[in-house]
Structure 1
Amino acid sequence: MKALITLTASESKRLIARGVRGLSCVQNALNKHAVIIAGGTTNAFVAEELLGVTIEDKTGYTMGIVSKGELGISRSTKRTAPYVIVEGKVIETPWKEYLPKLKSGDIFIKGGNAIDYTGLTAVMVSDASGGTIGAAQGILYARGVKLIVPIGLEKMVPDVRQAVEFMTKSTVDDSIGQKVGLIPMLGAIPVTELTALETLYDVEARCIAAGGVDGSEGAVIIAIEGLDEEVQRALRDLQTVKGEPPVSAS
């Protein structure tokens, strides 16, 4: 059986978050190791799915934000600090303080701004020291900590490597909104809508189109194929993500 699904950007975020929760490495880390859920609006959805919490203002779970047609900084007055989870329990230690304790088996979850057809991801940064990924990446590489990047297909770009090389040739002189750089996240495990669907259900998933109007800007159209009962199960579950309200910046 083959079926078509259309997901808005916020519906995609909810599905992706459920896909992250369904990864065996994440389940193992939640039970036996540590998980850091770094900032990002998609990561706010991830935190909700992993912890059963509600984050009303998801723009308060990020610093950098693209809104109102500009690169900017979140102006949310309802800030939520990134969660650090150790053996299934949230601890109060700030993520930067816990970072040096990470070891193999632990998970670091970081949102991204770009993904290409190879699965290479990148994140925009405005901080001179590289922001979150600048602080974390060395430790993650050195200690074999898995870096998981929940990222929607709306962020698909032609070639991340070329984009990074172009951005690093010279500094940005001017910008409509915040000036940023672009850092690649080599070795990361991207979790897109397709990853989520194929993790949660025994189906093959392909993105066949994207875009729309009247609130469906950034939407993706996905085809899934599998046994009738599995496709029907996916469609039933996906009804629960339909109508997910858009993330709005105050």
Structure 2
Amino acid sequence: MNIAPALFSKYYKNIFKKKWLKKGKDGFYFDFKGAKLPDISDDGNLLPILQHGVFEGTFLFPCLLNDDYNKSVVEFMDQHMGEGPYGYTDGSFDITVKQNDIVIDAGAWIGDFSAYAVSKGAIAYAFEPVEGTFQLLHQAMELNDRRIYPVQKGLADRECEINISVDGCSSGNSIFFERENSTKEKIAITTLDKFVKENNIEKVDFIKADIEGAERDMLRGATNVLKTFAPKLAICTYHLPDDPEVLEKIISEANPDYKVVHLRHKLFAAVVKQ
């Protein structure tokens, strides 16, 4: 039994807005234990995405499980969730966002993981190339004390412009997969290595990536970051059949000191200090 969809359909579908939607001086916004997102409650396409997959992957653990990313908890829940969380701890192997971390959010959508990172005391560089989604991400920046830095670019292994298959503000826009009723939008692409160098970013502590099959290209464009800063990694591995093997190989070649742990749909990696 997949307990997460059952939980949401029977419970959160009815009370989601009542539970998480708050009223501020400038209007309504969602507040997930300090992680704030723009009010999309009237959007029949975006709200279900937030209620289900996004809440499950980003906010279920902090809101309902006290941010407990212990190996035993995560591995149990991973068997009953669509994609699983973006955190994992096993002793000194600790893939969680910490105070003062610099976080790279690749595939930021409207800023859910970036907002979570800010709620933990981090700063997030949020990469979201699609125009409509980027506008909502910019609203998330304002809601989160401007500690989210929106970047309207995608991440890959080269600088270029490409056409992306866009399905409104869906969280699943892709350069690889055509979707029914989708449109094309030209977007700018850069590499993480180049972005970090050009913006004089002194460290990178955490990389989260869910970019619809482009994770391997993003990692190839971040080899210097992986080698120099050894950030914690939480990377989706379910878009392409060979993602687990290919992504681990890229990581290990960039920095052989990485330890990699695979769950059903994500890998977690870190250089464990002795």
Same fold (TM over 0.5): no
TM-score of the aligned structures, taking structure 1 as reference length:
0.36
TM-score of the aligned structures, taking structure 2 as reference length:
0.34
